[in-house]
Amino acid sequence: MNLRIQRTAGEKVFDAVNFTLVLFLTFLIFYPLVFVLFASVSDPRQIYVHPLLFWPQGFHLESYAKIFENQDIWRSYGNTLLYTVTGTLINVTMTVLGAYPLSRRRFFGKNVFTFLFTFTMFFSGGLIPGYLVNQSLGIVNTMWALILPGAISAYNLIIMRTFFQTQVPVELEESAYVDGCSDYRLLYKIVLPLSTPILAVMLLFYGVGHWNSYFDAMIYLSDRELYPLQLILREILIQNDFQQMTAIAIDDGYADRMMVQEGIKYAVVVVSSLPLLVLYPLLSKFFEKGILVGAIKG
Amino acid sequence: MPLKTVPSTGKPHPWRIRKTAIRGQVRRNIALYVIISPAVLYFVIWHYLPMYGVQIAFKDFMPALGINGSPWVGFEHFERFFNAYYFWNILRNTLGISVYGLLIGIPAPIILALMFNELRSKGFRTIAQTISYAPHFISVVVAVGILFFFISPNQGVIHSLMTWFGGTGRDFLADPGSFWHLFVWSGLWQSIGWSSLLYTAAMSGIPPDQYEAAYMDGANKFQRIWHVTLPGILPTIVILSILSIGGIMNVGFEKVLLMQSDLNLQTSEVISTYMYKSGILNAQYSFSAAVGLFNNIINFILLISFNAIAKRAGQTSLW
């Protein structure tokens, strides 16, 4: 806000109160994440004694050691990486291919395609008809069932089209056409290099989506070898199903075993969420730009 | 159809002009059609084929007979759903959780965005905002896992705190009365920062001279917020609200499934989880497709009507 605006005493109080409130809310939002991080390296027995952790109680890496011994976690981590990388590349490529023609002003039939794409945001056949389509395509119980059905998000496609339309100067496009540049070259040599912010945002949106999804894997994958990380996490965190992990500590007492399990839960949350939480502050400068463009009515 | 004969004027028939014009347009854009074809194929296969397949809601679908071969049964599946003893309970849960979620989830990010916007320190604002949307990047499984850390009856933080202060702990997950609150407020924890980002982005688009003019006219801070900031972000508020209302029947069911247990089923069963169980787990394809179609039609009608209301009221609308 402009500095010429003078603050009254009341407004100064308001600003101070507002600052304190924001500080408090930010702490409230952040605390659960910090808690898990601290708990994962604490002595599990201490967490019960000191329920609110403001710093780690002791420093124990046993929980992490147990995770790294576990085959399920390693394999599912690898699966998730594979699905995320393959899926995101397909997502971004397909979205660019769908969005670029819609951003050309002289594209004949633009409105028809736009309607065809956006209508799917508001109406869908539903879970079961979608399942039947995938079944008849024979992709059930393969990684493609997690990748192809969501290859394009219509919402992201519209954001990208709007970005192409508004951020790539029309003159550049016109002169390229005049010079006899083909549409393929225009996309490749001019539009894409000018669109790195939106491409970064899309990589992140789609990538996070793949990394975090469990539902499609739950309904389409029956082979345990193919399970992504989130399904294994679901067993550990939600269903309290530890498979061979508990066998390690079977000779301990019940209470001790519970403690060890709790420790494993905290550590597994950290291991699974860390890549995203490290990545997002680096990409956060692109968000506002990407979101701002998306907010423009399309 | 008999065509009227046009006296020869040396010019081609207007209808022919149009046809050749179209052909020319298509030829000029041929590369664009090639580029867009994978996307078209995708939407046809994974969005429009399921819409065609939704007809099994009116049929008695048998996999051996296929979609087209299965016999029609009219509204039988819908009637069965509407007459089931659990129908009103499920509908109440679906609408209850959704409306509760909207009442909290629409205003809260707006208020947070206003608070961010009023911060005088840019640096603090950036840090606070970046932290506030961190939970958005956490998966539903992990978010529910963290929620369980806090409310679990044997080691949970809240339980331990309650016993620490001499109270008795409660098993919130087993208590049907707590489910809606747990669901909505944990959802707010995950979404508030991210949603507020949209509003702060819209606020940064308000020209500063509007604030200066309001200040010159003697408007105090609250009046400036009320008369400049809020009207400036109103289109964003309207669009986002219409979109949320159009998803009212959906309730984040991936999360409901994770938080559900036999003990809280009475308040936690919603249409989409019920559809999942009857369709995927019990393989009642037609019945489940009917439940899903009912869900989607209600959503669609709500979206259209609220969009129309917004348009009528002279505000922004989706189309």
Query: Is residue B43 domain-shared with residue B91, that is, in the same domain?
Result: no
* Set of chain B residues whose Cβ sits within 8 Å of the Cβ of A151: 42, 46
Flag the least confident range among A74-88, B74-88, B241-255.
B241-255
Task: Tell me if B8 is assigned to some domain.
Answer: no
Report the distance separating Cα B241 and Cα B257, nearest Å. 25
- How confident is the model at residue B28, as a pLDDT? 78
pLDDT of A5: 67
CB contact under 8 A, A129 and B54: yes
Q: Which of B35, B52, B68 to mutate to test the interface with A (most CBs of A within 10 A)?
A: B35
CA-to-CA distance for A10 and A242, rounded, in angstroms?
57
Contact residues on chain A for B128, CB-CB shorter than 8 A: 22-23, 26
Mean pLDDT over A246-250 rounds to 50
Query: What mean pLDDT is predicted for residues A97-109?
Result: 91
- pLDDT digit string (tens) for A66-83? 888 888 899 999 999 999
On whether any CB of chain B is under 8 Å from the CB of A141, the answer is no
Q: What is the nearest CA distance from B207 to chain A, expressed in angstroms?
A: 10
pLDDT in tens, B129-169: 989 989 998 999 999 999 998 888 766 777 777 777 777 76
A·B CB contacts under 8 A: 276
Residue of B36, B65, B210, B256 to mutate for A, most A C-beta atoms under 10 A: B36
Q: Do the domain assignments include residue B199?
A: yes
Pick from B137, B146, B161: which is nearest to A36 by CB? Answer: B146
Q: What is the pLDDT of residue B21?
A: 77
Percent pLDDT > 90 in chain B is: 45
Whether residue B239 is contained in a domain is answered as: yes
Nearest residue to B189 (alpha-carbon basis) of B120, B142, B134, B259: B134
Cβ-nearest to B132 among A8, A29, A137: A29
pLDDT class of B13 with cuts at 50, 70, 90 = low
Phi, psi of B59 (to 5 degrees): -125, 170
Assess whether pLDDT exceeds 50 at residue B73. yes
Does B146 map to a domain? Answer: yes
* Position A128 confidence tier, pLDDT thresholds 50, 70, 90: very high
- Window 61-120 of A: residues touching B by CB (8 A cutoff) are 94-95, 97-98, 100-102, 104, 106-109, 113, 116-117, 120
| Res A288: pLDDT | 62
Read off the pLDDT band of B1 (50, 70, 90). Answer: very low
Test A52 with B161 for CB contact under 8 angstroms: yes
What is the four-CA torsion angle of B106, B111, B113, B118, rounded to 10 degrees? 170
- Among the residue ranges A198-212, B5-19, B264-278, the one predicted with the least confidence is B5-19
Contact B46 A130 (CB under 8 A): yes
Residue with tokens 């920062």: B193
- Nearest CB to A5 within list B131, B192, B215: B215
Q: What is the ipTM of this complex?
A: 0.89
| pLDDT for res B90 | 93
Contact A133 B53 (CB under 8 A): yes
Average pLDDT, chain A: 85
Does B51 lie in the same domain as B30? yes
pLDDT in tens, A149-176: 999 999 899 889 988 988 888 888 888 8
A217 touches chain B (CB under 8 A): no
**Whether B271 and B228 share a structural domain:** yes
Mean pLDDT of chain B: 87
Same-domain check for residues B242 and B191: yes
Q: Which residues of chain B make contact with A258, given a CB cutoff of 8 A?
A: 154-155
- Among A22, A154, A291, select the one facing B115 at the smallest CB separation: A22
Q: Which residues of A touch B208 (CB under 8 A)?
A: 1-2
Q: Which tokens is B250 given?
A: 């959906």
- Please tell me which of B37-46, B157-166, B172-181, B192-201 the model is most confident about, judged by mean pLDDT: B37-46
Interface contact flag, A22 B119, Cβ < 8 Å: yes
- Whether B62 and B132 map to the same domain: the answer is no
Report helix, strand or coil for B59.
Answer: strand
pLDDT digit string (tens) for A27-48? 999 999 998 888 888 877 776 6
Within this chain, do residues B88 and B53 fall inside the same structural domain, yes or no? no
pTM summary value: 0.88
How confident is residue A213, by pLDDT bands cut at 50, 70 and 90? very high
User: CB within 8 A of A212, min separation 6: which ones?
Assistant: A230, A276, B137, B138, B139, B140, B141, B142
Class of the domain covering A64-298: mainly alpha
Confidence class for position A106, pLDDT limits 50, 70, 90 = confident
Domain range holding B18?
A: 14-69
| pLDDT tens digits along A135-147 | 999 999 999 999 9
More confident residue, B5 or A51: A51
Domain boundaries, chain A: 1-60, 64-298
Whether the pLDDT of residue A297 is over 80: the answer is no
Go through A143-168 and write b for each residue having 16 or more CB atoms within 10 A of its CB, e for each that does not: bbbbbbbbbbbbbbbbbbbbbbbeeb
Share of chain A above pLDDT 90, in %: 42
Judged by CB atoms closer than 8 Å, whether chains meet at A108 and B239 is answered as no
B296-300 average pLDDT score: 90
Q: Kindly tell me if the per-residue pLDDT of B11 is higher than 70.
A: no
Q: Which residue has the higher pLDDT, B34 or A50?
A: B34
Q: Residue A290 has what pLDDT?
A: 64
Q: Which of A260-269, B38-47, B176-185, B310-319: highest mean pLDDT?
A: B38-47
Q: pLDDT grade, residue A282 (50/70/90)?
A: confident
- The minimum CA-CA distance between B66 and chain A, rounded to whole Å, is 10
The predicted-structure confidence for B250-290, as pLDDT tens digits, reads as follows: 778 899 999 998 888 999 999 999 999 998 888 899 999 99
Q: What is residue B82's predicted lDDT score, i.e. its pLDDT?
A: 94
Give me the residue label for tokens 């990394």: A211
* Cα A99 to Cα A97: distance, rounded to the nearest angstrom: 6
Find chain A residues with C-beta within 8 A of B204's C-beta. 288, 292
Q: A51 CB near a chain B CB, below 8 Å?
A: yes
In a domain? residue B280: yes
Please give the pLDDT value at position A49: 67
pLDDT in tens, B16-56: 667 777 787 777 788 899 999 999 999 999 999 999 999 99
Residues B303, B297: Cα–Cα separation, whole Å: 10
Whether A219 has a pLDDT exceeding 80, the answer reads yes
B318 part of a folded domain: no
Residues B21 and B154 reside in one and the same domain: no
In a shared domain, residues B124 and B104: yes
How far is the alpha carbon of A22 from chain B, nearest alpha carbon, in Å? 7
CB-based contacts of B236, cutoff 8 Å, min separation 6: A295, B198, B199, B202
- CA distance, residue B208 to nearest chain A CA (Å): 7
* Number of domains within chain B: 2
Any CB–CB contact under 8 A between A148 and chain B? yes
Residue A16 to residue A14: CA distance in whole angstroms: 5
Q: Considering only CA atoms, give the Rg of chain A.
A: 25
Q: Please list every residue in chain B whose beta carbon sits closer than 8 Å to the beta carbon of residue A15.
A: 118, 120
Q: Please tell me the distance in Å from B314's CA to the nearest CA on chain A.
A: 16
- Kindly give, in sequence order, each residue whose CB lies less than 8 Å from that of residue B38, ignoring residues fewer than 6 positions away: A94, A97, A98
Which residue does chain A place closest to B289, by CA atoms?
A128
**Distances, alpha carbon B280 to alpha carbons A134, A231, B283, in Å:** 13, 17, 5
Give the Cα separation of A259 and A47 in Å (integer).
9
Residue of B nearest to A120 (CA): B47
Pair B42, B138 in one domain: no
Tens digit of pLDDT for each residue in A254-279?
A: 667 777 788 888 899 999 988 887 87
Q: Quick one: B24 and B134 in the same domain? A: no
Q: What's the gap between Cα B284 and its chain centre?
A: 26
Do B27 and B111 lie in a common domain? no
Look at residues A2, A8, A6, A7 and name the one whose alpha carbon lies nearest to residue B209.
Answer: A2
Task: Give the closest of A124, A281, A295 to B236, CB-based.
Answer: A295
SS3 of chain B: helix, strand, coil, percent, to 5: 75, 0, 25
Please provide the DSSP assignment of A37-70 as one string: HHHHHS-HHHHHHS-S-SS-SS---HHHHHHHH-
- Identify whether residues B105 and B158 lie together within a single domain: yes
Greater pLDDT, A216 or B158:
A216
Q: How confident is the model at residue B10 (pLDDT cuts 50, 70, 90)?
A: low
Q: Which of A53-67, A148-162, B54-68, B187-201 has the lowest mean pLDDT?
A: A53-67
Tell me whether A157 touches chain B (CB under 8 Å). Answer: yes
